[in-house]
Amino acid sequence: MGAVPVYPAPQPDRLTRFVLRLHERSPRWAAPLAALGCVGAGISYTLLIDPTRSAPDAAPTCMLKLTTGLDCPGCGGTRALWYLLHADLPAAARHHFLLVFVLPFLAYLFVAWAGRQAFGWRLPELRISNKLIGVFLAAWLAFSVVRNLPWAPFTALYV
């Protein structure tokens, strides 16, 4: 048996070095602020376009729905967010129940992360196991399949 060759560690390229320098020099609150800006932009977009007022014969903007006629796993999410922002929980759940279910958990995870990053807060951790993530993804997959079944009672889930 011969000696195992030792490979030199790859050196970071210019872009990687730039990003690492930027990360080292940025304040602790920069990443949470940038993430909050992205969330704010998404909410602003949802409020501005009003996804609930499209013409009945308008072509869908989702490529999967346009090409296959099937609802994608995220179909109805923008409308559900719009209804949540207008405090209409039943309509939001009608358009995307799983988004309505998972949003409080995602909001708490974001606040805990952003508070720890920006201010050093130590909120109680929400421990999510890999098994629980797998169960959620399986439920999302099942929901995506069931909402596309063409017979009652599943047609009520079609958005």
Residue 1 pLDDT greater than 70, yes or no:
no
Using one digit for the tens of pLDDT, what is the confidence trace for 66-85?
788 777 888 888 889 999 99
Residue 87 lies in a domain: yes
Residue 59 pLDDT greater than 70, yes or no:
no
The pTM of the full predicted model, rounded to 2 decimals, is 0.74
Residue 14 lies in a domain: no
Assign 3-class secondary structure to 50-101. Answer: CHHHCCCCCCCCCHHHHHHCCCCCCCCHHHHHHHHHCCCHHHHHHHCHHHHH
Using one digit for the tens of pLDDT, what is the confidence trace for 90-139?
999 988 889 999 999 999 999 999 999 999 999 998 888 999 999 999 99
Residue 5 lies in a domain: no
Range of the domain at 47: 31-51+64-157
Percent of the chain with pLDDT over 90: 42
Residue 56 lies in a domain: no
